[in-house]
Amino acid sequence: MSRTILGCHLSVSAGFFAMGEEALSIDANTFQFFTRNPRGSKAKAIDPADVQRLLDLLEKEKFGRLLAHAPYTLNPCSKDERVREFAAATMADDLERLRYLPGAMYNFHPGSHVGQGIDVGIELIAKQLNDLLDDEGDTLILLETMAGKGSEVGSTFEELKRIIDLTEKKERLGVCIDTCHLNDAGYDVKNDIDGVLETFDKVIGIERIRAVHVNDSKNEVGARKDRHAKIGEGTIGLEAILTIMRHPALKDLPFYLETPNDVPGYQEEIKLLRSHLDR
Ligand code: FE
Ligand code: FE
Ligand code: ZN
C-alpha cells in the first residue's frame, strides 16, 4: 500500500510534540506550522526536550518532511529598509531555531514590491536570500508560488526563476506550489495540470518543486485574489485536486492543506482524500 504524505496546517501554540500527536489523531503523516505568530512577533524559546519527543514520534510513525511557514506578513522586498531588516532578522532567527528540526523545510512568501517594480523586488529578495543562506545550517528554503494580488512577487514561474538565478546557494532552494495561488495567478491547474507542470519544468525545472499546498479556490482562473476554499467547495473541485495529487511529478511530495478549516474539518478532508488516493 502506498500512503500519500498528507497533512494540514497546525498551531504550534501547545508545543511541538503536541502538534505531532494532533497530526496522528487526524491521520496526517506530515504537517505545516507557523514558526511564530503570523503577525511576526517574538517566537517562544525552543524546548529541546519537547522537540526531541516530536522527532522520536515522527520517526516511529514514518512521517514525511514537516514544513515551517514564515510569518506571511514579512516583506523581504519592502520599500522600507526597516521592514526588510525585520524580515531578514526574523527569517535568520527562524532558520537558527529550525536547526533543532532536521529535515523540516522552510517556506516563505517572496514579498510585495509595493510600487518599486518587479525588477527591484526580485533583486531585494535575492539579496536577502544570499545573506540568509550564509548560515551554518542546511535547511531547505522554499519560495511559495503566489496568487499575484497587489504587487506580489512570485506569481509567475519566470519571476521565481529570476530569484533562483540570482541566489548563490541554489542547492538550498526549492519551490512550494500552492494550487489555489496557481489558479488565481492564471495557471489552469483544474483543466491542464500537465501543461502547467510542463511550463514549470521548462522555466524552472520540475525537480525544484519540493512541497504542495493543496487548496481549492474561491476564484476563477487568473483572478489574482488568493482566497482559499475547502476541497471540493471551490472552482478547482475534488476531481481536479485528485488528478493533481496523483500526477507522477507530484504524487511522492508532501501535501499540506491550508483550507479554511478547524482541526476536525481537516480530519474530514484528509479522510476524503485518503479514501481516493491511498491504495
Ligand atoms: Fe503561504
Ligand atoms: Fe499556501
Ligand atoms: Zn494563500
Return the CATH number at 58. Answer: 3.20.20.150
Give the contacts of 18 (CB within 8 A, at least 6 positions apart): none
Confidence at 87, pLDDT banded by 50, 70, 90: very high
Provide the pLDDT for residue 135: 87
Indicate the number of domains in the chain: 1
CA–centroid distance, 223 to ligand 2, in Å, is 16
Reported in sequence order, the residue ranges of 96-152 that DSSP labels E, i.e. its strands, are: 105-108, 141-144
Question: pLDDT higher for 44 or 164?
Answer: 164
CA–centroid distance, 110 to ligand 1, in Å, is 10
CA–centroid distance, 263 to ligand 3, in Å, is 18
- Per-residue exposure over 230-255, b if at least 16 CB sit within 10 Å of its own CB, e if not: bbbebbbbeebbbbbbebeebeebbb
CA–centroid distance, 10 to ligand 1, in Å, is 13
CA–centroid distance, 74 to ligand 3, in Å, is 14
CA–centroid distance, 255 to ligand 1, in Å, is 13
Amino acid at 160: L
Confidence at 40, pLDDT banded by 50, 70, 90: low
CA–centroid distance, 226 to ligand 3, in Å, is 5
Provide the pLDDT for residue 1: 66
Domain of residue 199: give its range.
6-277
Within a domain: 244: yes
CA–centroid distance, 89 to ligand 2, in Å, is 22
CA–centroid distance, 108 to ligand 1, in Å, is 7
CA–centroid distance, 1 to ligand 1, in Å, is 31
CA–centroid distance, 36 to ligand 2, in Å, is 16
129 closest CA partner among 177, 105, 164, 100:
164
pLDDT tens digits along 158-171 = 999 999 999 999 99
Report the C-alpha gap between 72 and 209 in whole angstroms: 20
Within a domain: 1: no
pLDDT tens digits along 100-158 = 999 999 999 999 999 999 999 999 999 999 999 998 899 999 999 999 999 999 999 99
Amino acid at 48: P
* Among the bound ligands, the one closest to the CA of 69: 1
Report the C-alpha gap between 102 and 137 in whole angstroms: 9
pLDDT tens digits along 204-241 = 999 999 999 999 999 999 999 999 999 999 999 999 99
Within a domain: 125: yes
pLDDT tens digits along 232-252 = 999 999 999 999 999 999 999
CA–centroid distance, 109 to ligand 1, in Å, is 6
Q: At what angle do helices 238-246 and 263-277 cross, to 10 degrees?
A: 60
CA–centroid distance, 144 to ligand 2, in Å, is 7
The residue behind cell 533583486 is 123
Reported in sequence order, the residue ranges of 76-208 that DSSP labels E, i.e. its strands, are: 105-108, 141-144, 173-178
CA–centroid distance, 171 to ligand 1, in Å, is 21
CA–centroid distance, 174 to ligand 1, in Å, is 14
